[in-house]
Amino acid sequence: MLKGIPEILSPELLKVLCEMGHSDTLVVADGNFPAMTMGKNAIVIRMDGHGVPEILDAILSVFPLDSYVDHPVHLTQVVPGDTVPTPEIWKTYKDIVAKYDDRGADAFEEVERFAFYEEAKKAYCIIATGETAVYANVLIQKGVVINK
């Protein structure tokens, strides 16, 4: 056991987060995301009993977002013509990111569904969750840890 580390971050996930370097990406995927298909070249970690917000919050407590890009956080854009309104969960994500990054909502970019899938295929890691909200996938790009 370690002090100061959120309990939801398993030893396996902590190891992966430590292995990741600057500009590597991580997907925290909802329960409908094809994690095993998209993650053929990635590390896939299953966290089925958890939702995306609690995992995202825990990760961002130890994981810097990339400050060298305008939008280190990507969301799967709502498909045009879909009857789903702007997902409520996105506000939760923006509140979480604002706790850890001064850009807050400006750190986000919506990415067309299939373009998001192409980005996900290049991710270092995909976390498959049990999240039931639609359009709840989030991709984050790692930044640099700066010792002060």
pLDDT, tens digit, for every residue of 131-147?
Answer: 999 999 999 999 998 87
Q: Which residue is catalytic, options 24, 50, 106, 117? A: 117
Q: Is 117 a catalytic residue?
A: yes
Q: Which of 30, 57, 66, 101 is catalytic?
A: 66
- Under 8 Å between Cβ of 4 and 10: no
- Give domain status of residue 93, yes or no: yes
CB 135 within 8 A of CB 87: yes
Whether residue 146 lies inside any domain: the answer is no
- Residue 96 pLDDT grade (very low, low, confident, very high; cuts 50, 70, 90): very high
Q: Which among 41, 53, 38 has a CA at the least distance from the CA of 130?
A: 53
Query: How much is the pTM?
Result: 0.95
For 46, the domain range is: 13-141
Provide the domain count of the chain: 1
Domain holding 136: CATH number?
3.40.1650.10
**What is the sign of the dihedral through the CA atoms of 132, 52, 124 and 108?**
positive
Q: Is 66 a known active-site residue?
A: yes
Give a yes or no: residue 19 inside a domain: yes
CA distance 139 to 147: 25
Tens-place pLDDT, residues 6-33? 999 999 999 999 999 999 999 999 999 9
The active-site residue, picked from 22, 70, 95, 102, is 22
Q: Is 74 a catalytic residue?
A: no
